[in-house]
Amino acid sequence: MLTPHRKFPRPCPQARKQGENVDLIDNISILHKELLKWYGWGYKDSMFKLHEGKTMFTGNRYLIGGKFLPHFIEWAKENFNIDITKPPKIPQIPTSYAENRLPANIKKELENIALVSVDGLDRLIRAHGQTLKDMTLLRTNSFPRIPDAVIWPESHDQVVQIVQCASRNNFVIIPFGGGTSVSGAITCPANETRPIVALDTSDMNSILWIDKEQLLARIQAGIVGQDLEREMRARGFTVGHEPDSYEFSTLGGWVATRASGMKKNTYGNIEELIVHTTMVTPIGVMEKSCRVPRISCGPEWEHVVLGSEGCLGVVTEVTLKIRPLPPVVRYGSLVFPDWEAGFHFEREVARQRLQPSSIRLIDNEQFRFGYAVKTETSWGGVALEGLKKFYITKIKGFDPAKLCVVTLLIEGTADQVTDREKKLNAIAAAFNGVPGGATNGEVGYTLTFVIAYIRDLALEYDVVAESFETSVSWERAAALCRNTKRRVRDECARRRLTHYLISCRLTQTYDAGCCIYFYFGFNSSECSDAVTVYEEIEEAAREEILANGGSISHHHGVGKLRKKWYKQTVSEPGVKLLLAAKKTLDPQNIFALSNMAFNEYTLEDTVRSKL
């Protein structure tokens, strides 16, 4: 499925010097044009497609591939009133592109460092992330600005040379990893007059060394999550970081956004996995002189790198913790009569610190969606079958229009997994929950990587949809979910939108709170300028989230979409501190992405107005 790109990666000199147990692994490069869609999510051969009045998922990369979904169209009609008689709106590859502004002398200088392209499609592919607005502009080839060139460095040293070239010639660099950003972070600032070069890290994808004794690995930042995990598993290890985007997102992107993975309960969020980072800035390379588990040396500057969203430099290499593969992986599911029961179960599990590797609570809307993606051969979403359905709905008396499901992923030794499962079932029983079976749990997690493809089908039939997330304390979480859903419904009613869906799931748990995901979509044929309408409603939802004690983001980041709330989140002194770091590390504003507190004016004007 992945095309190998073989070379001899450079070993880490420090590792050689210290006599560590070093394994060198050849690069694995995903060829974007060859494998991935240019206009949407994922692989070219994988998509939801209507065929003779039925929906099917194409390709063979996923378990759902090649199978029909007999209930999907009924669900789509019920919720969005789609007209399947209309021809799908599938975009064609553009025949013209925005003007290339890169001077010939700069292009030649860059070509002496690494591979460079000014091809229109290469530039367009790296002009965006995966927001609804990105997809709409991409399908209509109407970005106000795209990169003028793309460059593919293969090493830290080449990145240093590229950044030095940018400083000499005063052009903009936008770091590009997997292109999965959902915050507008990598879109080009429309008013930028300087040349813009997208620095694509996909050729920086080597595992430089693995230390099996210290359980550490040094890895180039452009490696894609699924490649990293596959190579680690082949050697008996795991990183354990699996965000929903991990098929396509990169290690550098995880660092730049402070990412979270579904198994963080066992392995930690990205900030807990990192031991050492190397970032190239316009004034030099930023890294610690030692690689130790913890250091007390004033403020932790590594946390300036984490979440910097490409605005301060390029992350080139990262040292991560790794763990031996767990001997047992077991899926499970629990069914509850309603959201409140499932929520209080999750709260009690967190209180007792009994979280398995992953534990997710999905609401009734998502439960019913699970039935919609069930296949003819019974593989598919979370659904209740036969005697189990009879027991839950008839004997237990659960209302199918209210019940909710918790999916579980438990890892460890056989004894540990069995013991954890028994304890979780006992807590569930106290909240009137009943086991829903391992299959429902497994397909629920497998479906995670397929759901993202649905938006492309939705856009083909005039449905716009997106997700947004937050973190919140336990005491305010239930009200936040309830009030945010109500606010979205009110906003839809005010705009006379009648065919829409708002749902949520609780995806991560902590001692002090949880992460909540919302999914919202509507039939855009009911309004003009659907993207603007969607953004207005999502903005209202975010205001409601903040009013109910939620955060600006749990793991998606700020980017350009949520920058209006940055100051109220971190305070005026926090903004000034960020701007001071920017002025110090990037005085020419080479990394002019305009994320977070930064705007599209020159850095000097920005700093002068704030400091």
Question: CA dist 235 to 24, 323, 579, Å?
Answer: 12, 11, 43
Lowest model confidence (mean pLDDT) among 260-274, 292-306, 479-493, 525-539: 292-306
- 18 pLDDT higher than 60: no
Which is more confidently placed, 52 or 71?
Answer: 71
CB-count burial class (<10 Å; 0-12, 13-18, 19+) for 17: exposed
| Alpha helices (H) along 170-301 | 225-234, 251-257, 264-267, 270-273
Which residue carries 């998606």 as its tokens? 556
CA dist 565 and 247 (Å) reads 30
Instruction: Note the pLDDT tens digit of each residue in 89-139.
Output: 899 999 999 999 999 999 999 999 999 999 999 999 999 999 999 999 999
Q: Which residues are documented as binding site for FAD?
A: 175-181, 244-250, 257-260, 309-315
Sign of the C-alpha dihedral computed for residues 349, 381, 135 and 500 taken in this order: negative
From the list 331, 500, 517, 519, the catalytic residue is 517
β-strand pairing of 196-200 with 172-176:
parallel
pTM: 0.91
Residue 245: other Cβ atoms inside 10 A: 24
CA dist 462 and 83 (Å) reads 9
At 608, the pLDDT band (50, 70, 90 cuts) reads very low
At 397, the pLDDT band (50, 70, 90 cuts) reads confident
At 394, the pLDDT band (50, 70, 90 cuts) reads low
At 547, the pLDDT band (50, 70, 90 cuts) reads very high
- 483 pLDDT higher than 60: yes
18: helix, strand or coil:
coil
Q: Which residues are documented as binding site for substrate?
A: 455
Residue 377: other Cβ atoms inside 10 A: 9
At 390, the pLDDT band (50, 70, 90 cuts) reads low
Angle, helix 339-351 to helix 474-494, in steps of 10 degrees: 150
Which pLDDT score, from 0 to 100, does residue 513 have?
98
Sorted by sequence, the CB contacts under 8 Å of residue 63 that are 6+ apart come out as: 379, 443, 446
Which pLDDT score, from 0 to 100, does residue 2 have?
30
| One-letter amino acid of 302 | E
Q: Which residues are documented as binding site?
A: 175-181, 244-250, 257-260, 309-315, 455
Average pLDDT over residues 373-400: 65
CA dist 189 and 56 (Å) reads 38
Instruction: Note the pLDDT tens digit of each residue in 447-467.
Output: 889 989 999 999 999 999 999
Tell me the β-bridge partners of 295.
none
Look at residues 380, 396, 455 and name the one whose alpha carbon lies nearest to residue 132.
455
Does the annotation mark 517 as catalytic? yes
Tell me the β-bridge partners of 238.
323
Average pLDDT over residues 468-497: 98
Instruction: Note the pLDDT tens digit of each residue in 312-370.
Output: 999 999 999 999 999 999 999 999 999 999 999 999 999 999 999 999 999 999 999 98
Which is more confidently placed, 147 or 289?
Answer: 147
Which residue carries 């050689």 as its tokens? 16
Which pLDDT score, from 0 to 100, does residue 17 have?
37
